[in-house]
Structure 1
Amino acid sequence: MLETRQLRYFTAVAEELHFARAADRLNVAQSALSVQIQRLERELGVRLLNRNKRQPVSLTDAGQLFHAEAVAALRHVERADQVGRLAASGLAGIVRLGFVASGATSGVLSGMLRNFRQSHPDVRISVIPMQTPRQFEALDTGEIDVGIVRPRRRYPAGIVAKVVQTEHLMVAMSDVHPLATRRKLTARDLEGQSFISPQFDEEEGFGEVLEALGTAGGFEACLDYRVQDFISGLSLACAGYGVAVVPESMSNFKQPGLCYRPIADFEFSVHLALATRRRELSPAVRAFVKALS
């Protein structure tokens, strides 16, 4: 098996075409250099250098071919060393980032990526749209490293989260809906409406928002359409199937026939959180989380 040292010694001689100058360049004894070159030729089973006391050192045909490959190999070794050191310090590697749809429409996702890229341009980022409950599973299995989620009162074992954004709510509806003529709504105005909302098979979620809205308006909100994400909900609302109570950043999602109205007397806030594994081994992931803290 060839050694990196042998390649370095040979390339020095091949480029200097002089053993003494090559030894000085490498800061080694000329005798040690000669021994290593001879050992290399024995291992390869071919003569790489023409040695003649009356003529300068020259490369054989095999030596010329081997020199080109040796230079390329040393470059790969140097690059591997650099990448390894960058990875150890979190300056290289990969971060797999899950996100809910509103993480993108709110600008939280792009803001995180922009800030991190400025200080860690060599870290590759993989972004994966994923519902909040699914992200917790993916964090546990290692499918993703970080998640932009809707926070929960309790998280699965080994997962922690930190709120990164807070915003108020708006009502999305068709522009021909009777309530669309008003500039602002009250919670009471929404009594009797068919609500559309993301809600999964868990106690927490946007169902809590509807419950709080009903309490504020003095009615019981009816979740008629359960969807997987806000984009689906907005499409149904635009088509007239009901109204969707959504984070205010979702108003960035424009669609013909869709309008948004604020709720004047409903101060309920919703949040986005950054979820991670409690014990993270990857330096790149640790650097990503640290950069956002």
Structure 2
Amino acid sequence: MIDARQLRYFTTVVEELHFAKAADRLNVAQSALSAQIQRLEQDIGIRLLNRNKRQPVTLTDAGRLFHAEAVAALRHIERADQVGRLAARGLAGIVRIGFVASGVSSGVLSRMLRQFRITHANVRIEVVAMETPRQFEALSSGEIDVGIVRPRREYPSGLTATIVQTERLLVAMANDHPLAARSTLSANDLKDESFISPQFDEDEGFGEVLSALGAAGGFLAFLEHRVQDFIAAISLASAGYGIVVVPESMRNFTQPGICFRPITDFDFSVHLAMASRRRELSPAVRAFVEESLTLPGR
């Protein structure tokens, strides 16, 4: 079996075309170098070098072909060694990130990626939009490494999360909605409205926000349309299907026919969290999580 040392010995002899000079350069005995080249030729079953005591060493036709492949192989080995060392320090590898829409609209995801790229340019980043419950499944299975999620009171076994963003809430509605004529709203103003909200088959989520809003306004909020994300919710609202209570950053998504209004007597904030596995083996993923948690303003 050919090894990297044999390839280095062979390419050095080709560069020097002299066994003694090559041996000096490699800091090995000439006899040891000659034995390694002979073993290489035996292993592959063909002569690579023409040896003549009175003439310089020359390559055979097979030797010329083999030399090109040997040089390429050594470059690959060197690259693999470099990548391996970088990966061990978290400077190479892959980080797969899931995110909810607010992770983009709030700028949280872009800030994390921008900062990480400065010090980890060789780490490949993959991002995929994914609702919060699905992200927890993907984190547990290893499909993704980091999630930008809506926080929960409890997380699945083996996962941990840290709050990275806090926002106030606004109401989004169609420009021609009767309430759009007002610059601000009270919670009670929304008592007769049909609500649109991302909500999944779980007790937590934005359903809690609607319950708190109803309590503040003295009514029971009616969830007319359940959707997967705020993009879908705002699209329905702009078409007049109802109103949406959204994080303030959703104003950054330009959508024709939509307007946003604050609720003056509803002091309720929502959060984004970064979730990851508790026992993460990848140095690149650990580095991403650690750097993201040091960002200012989180």
Shorter-chain TM-score category? over 0.9
TM-aligned CA deviation for residue 176 of structure 1? 0.4
1:157 is paired with a residue whose SS is coil
1:153-212 superposed Cα distances (whole Å, 9 cap, x missing partner): 111111100000000000000000011011111112111111111111111010111111
For 1:77, give the aligned amino acid. Answer: I
Question: Paired residues, what number?
Answer: 293
Higher mean displacement: 216-225 or 8-17: 216-225
Q: Deviations over 1:12-37 (max 9, x none)?
A: 00000011110111111111111111
Q: Give the Cα separation in 2 of the matches to 1:67 and 1:122.
A: 30
Which residue number corresponds to residue 30 of structure 2? Answer: 30
Aligned 1:262-277 pairs, distance under 5 A: 262-277=262-277
Whether 1:283 and 2:279 are equivalent positions in the alignment is no
Q: What does 1:52-63 correspond to in 2, within 5 Å?
A: 52-63=52-63
Give the aligned partner of residue 175 of structure 2: 175
Q: Distance in 2 between matches of 1:282 and 1:16?
A: 43
Distance in 2 between the 1:162 and 1:292 partners? 10
SS of 1:62's partner is helix
Deviation at 1:55, TM superposition (A): 1.1
The one-letter code sitting in structure 1 at the alignment partner of 2:46 is V
Query: Which whole-Å CA distance do the structure 2 matches of 1:44 and 1:103 have between them?
Result: 56
RMSD: 0.9
SS in 2 for 1:109: helix
In the alignment, the residues of structure 1 paired with residue 256 and residue 56 of structure 2 have an alpha-carbon distance, to the nearest angstrom, of: 81
Please show how residues 134-149 of structure 1 align to structure 2 within 5 Å.
134-149=134-149
What SS does the aligned partner of 2:279 have?
coil
The range that moved more, 29-38 or 164-173, is: 29-38
Q: Does 1:220 pair with 2:217?
A: no
Structure 1 stretches of 4+ with a deviation exceeding 3 A read none
Deviation at 1:270, TM superposition (A): 0.1
Query: Partners in 1 of 2:231 and 2:151 — Cα distance?
Result: 19
The TM-score with structure 2 as length reference comes to 0.96
Please give the per-residue CA displacement for 1:121-169, whole angstroms capped at 9, x wherever unaligned: 1111111111101111111111111100000011111110000000000
Q: Mark the runs of 5 or more structure 2 residues left unpaired by the alignment.
A: 294-298
Distance 2:248 2:59 in 1: 72
Query: 2:67 — aligned with what?
Result: 67
How far apart are the structure 2 equivalents of 1:42 and 1:195?
79
> Displacement, 1:103?
0.8
**Residue 121 of structure 2 corresponds to residue 121 of structure 1:** yes
Q: Give the structure 2 partner of residue 230 of structure 1.
A: 230
Confirm or deny that 1:158 pairs with 2:158.
yes
Q: Give the distance between the partners of 1:239 and 1:184, measured in 2 at CA.
A: 21
Residues 141-150 or 212-221, more deviating: 212-221
Q: Structure 1 length as normaliser, TM-score?
A: 0.98
Q: Which amino acid aligns with 1:16?
A: E
Distance 1:241 1:227 in 2: 12
Q: CA deviation at 1:105?
A: 1.4
Q: How do residues 15-54 of structure 1 correspond to structure 2 at under 5 angstroms?
A: 15-54=15-54
Give the match's secondary structure for 1:168: strand
Displacement, 1:47? 1.5
Query: Secondary structure of the residue that 1:143 maps to in structure 2?
Result: coil
Percent of residue pairs identical: 75
Quote the offset at 1:118 in angstroms: 0.9
Q: 1:41, 1:174 → 2: CA distance?
A: 79
Report which stretch shifted further, 212-221 or 91-100.
212-221
What is residue 296 of structure 2 aligned with on the other side?
Answer: none
Deviation digits for residues 77-114 of structure 1, max 9, x if unmatched? 11111111111111111111111111111111111111
Residue ranges of structure 1 left out of the alignment (5+ in a row): none
Matching of residue 256 in structure 1 with residue 281 in structure 2: no
